[in-house]
Amino acid sequence: MRTALFFDFDDTLHDFEAAYRHGFGALARQVLVWAGARDIDAAQLKALCQDAWDAAWHRFVDGYISERELWIQRLTAVFAAVGLKPEPERLNRARELYIRQMEGALRLFPETKHALDLAAALHPRPVLGVLTNGVPSIQASRLTALGLYQRFDLVLISGAVGVSKPDPRFFDLALRRAGVSANQAVMVGDNATVDVLGALRAGLHAIWLNRHGRPWPVDGPPPCFTATDLLQAVEIARTLLACEQPQTEGATNR
Kindly state the average pLDDT of the residues 165-193.
97
Domains of the chain (ranges, CATH numbers)? 4-15+107-243 (3.40.50.1000), 16-104 (1.10.150.240)
Q: CA-CA-CA-CA torsion for 172, 178, 179, 182, nearest 10 degrees?
A: -40
- Residue 251, pLDDT > 80, answer no
Residues of the chain above pLDDT 90, percent: 83
Residue 58 has a pLDDT of 85
Q: Do residues 126 and 245 lie in contact, with contact meaning Cβ atoms separated by under 8 Å?
A: no
Q: CA-CA-CA-CA torsion for 232, 236, 242, 244, nearest 10 degrees?
A: -150
Q: What is the pLDDT of residues 31-85, one digit of tens each?
A: 999 999 888 999 999 999 999 999 998 888 777 888 899 999 999 999 999 999 9
Q: What is the pTM of this model?
A: 0.91
